[in-house]
Amino acid sequence: MGLDITILLIGLNHKTAPVEIREKLAFKNPSSHPLEKIKKEISSFKEGLFLSTCNRVEFYFILDPDKKNQFLTEFFSFIERESSFKWKDLEPHLYFLENEKAVKHLFEVACGLDSMVIGEPQILGQVKSAYKEALNYRTSGLILNKLLHKCFSVAKKVRTETGIGGGAVSVSYAAYSLAKKILGSLKDKTVLLVGAGEMAELACMHFVSEGVRKVIIANRTLSKAIELAEKFKGEAYSLDELPQALIKADIVISSTGAPNCIITKTMVNSILKPRKYRPLFIIDIAVPRDVEQEVNKLENVFLYDIDDLKSVIEENLKERKKEALRAQVIIETEVFKFQKWLKELDFYPTLRALSEKAEILRQNELSKTLKKLKNLSEEEKKAIEILTKSLVQKLLYYPINFIKKSYHEEGKYAISLVRQIFELDEPFKEISETEIEDLYLKIEEKSQSQENSSKNTDPEGILIQ
């Protein structure tokens, strides 16, 4: 990479870690964001982004390469303090990607290629939210800003130019499909959605389209539950009223952001008799999980978590996998463009320094000339100004073109050479007329000497006309 930085991704997802590990690293405590803590406790990184969804936990960092080892030591300690894991137990579930591979992975995530459901659109909104948090905590700078904006444009391009988003496929849809697969017709069923976020709303749309008898929304903030219930002509409850809502439900879809279980074995056991032991299907798509595993042991209660949705999701992937190949071509192209931008970052300061030095010289010489030509009209002065600008631009064309053409082949050699030739790392000093005259006089003398020497060593008269 041209710029002397490392892009480092450390993460785990549904492919590398089960839900019981992912949920302990989800950092769902509303009182403190992991970026806020990392910024206070770790000083060896430049920029940072934290992405947490039901299927993944990922950290993206911009580092100085020579601080990488120090950063990893500090980060490992941070993770051990914030979770119940020892690093040696957690490490087998993690993936570490750097630079181009990290960029490609982020693009794939935003496009839904790395999701449990290929092409699901919800992940892009979650990446955008993660970026907003990075901006909020001032951990995003030049590199992450460019990377994330490029990421969003890539996702839009993939959505527009491929069929990756075709069909109603998402974790919410998978939950709906599982319920339908188990129960058959849903027309006489009551669905309880615990949580009123985007996931709940998407699930609601699927169930309502199937014609369920009733939708119930239970949420910590009652006003949000009421808002969603009105939209789908359902009933709203607060979480304090959850037992009453559970009595009415046939299917429960839970998707809150609560740090601990909100549906316990004790709670469900207490409502079995009022329900007359009707079958209760609970699909927990929250991370951390909303429902205690022990609930599954109760009579006529059937609990499924997000990992159980994998088999349902597989059935919806065949067509999207074909489109994913087209999406990969777009991603590869955009990764190359981003890498090129990174590489070019370090030669723009050289181009700017060269242009600025040439402009100082031009202004100085123009000022001297105009002082001698006192009777010039404004039009004539303007003509000389244009002439000198044009001359400088045409002369600079050659070193600038040399840098651009040579950069990707010669690395930093082209930049180093131009900086030396034009003394761009030296303090600016005015060159006297005497110095210039002496230099050109020596060139003329050397040229004349070589020409005479060439003629004297031409015994056969080949060069003598």
| Residue 17 near residue 93 (C-beta atoms within 8 A) | yes
Provide the CA 54 distance to its chain's centre, in angstroms: 17
Instruction: Please enumerate, by residue number, every residue annotated as part of a binding site for NADP(+).
Output: 195-200
Q: Which of 51, 173, 160, 176 is nearest to 120 (CA)?
A: 173
Query: What is the H or E stretch that residue 10 is in?
Result: strand 6-13
How confident is the model over 330-373, as pLDDT tens digits? Answer: 999 999 999 888 877 767 778 888 888 889 999 988 988 888 88
Residues making up the annotated binding site for substrate are 53-56, 115, 120-122, 126
Residues of the chain with pLDDT under 70: 1-3, 29-31, 166-170, 315-316, 346, 407-412, 454-465
- Which tokens go with 282? 């609970």
Cis peptide before 288 (omega within 30 of 0): yes
Q: 213-230: per-residue pLDDT in tens?
A: 899 999 999 999 999 889
Domain residue spans of the chain: 6-167+319-344, 171-314, 348-447
CATH 3.40.50.2000 at 6-167+319-344, yes or no: no
What does the block give as tokens for 190?
């009551």
CA 117, CA 171: separation in Å to the nearest integer? 7
pTM of the model: 0.58
Among residues 294, 222, 300, the alpha carbon closest in space to that of 263 is found at 294
Residue type at 245? A
DSSP letter at 66 equals G
Phi-psi region of 276 (alpha: psi -120 to 50; beta: other; left: phi over 0): left
Q: Which residues are annotated as a binding site?
A: 53-56, 115, 120-122, 126, 195-200
Residue 10, Cβ neighbours under 10 Å: how many?
19
The domain 171-314: what is its CATH number?
3.40.50.720
Residue-wise pLDDT tens digits, 48-99: 999 988 888 999 999 988 889 999 999 998 888 888 788 888 888 999 999 9
Question: Which are the catalytic amino acids?
Answer: 54
Burial status of residue 209 (CB atoms within 10 A of its CB: 0-12, 13-18, 19 or more)? exposed
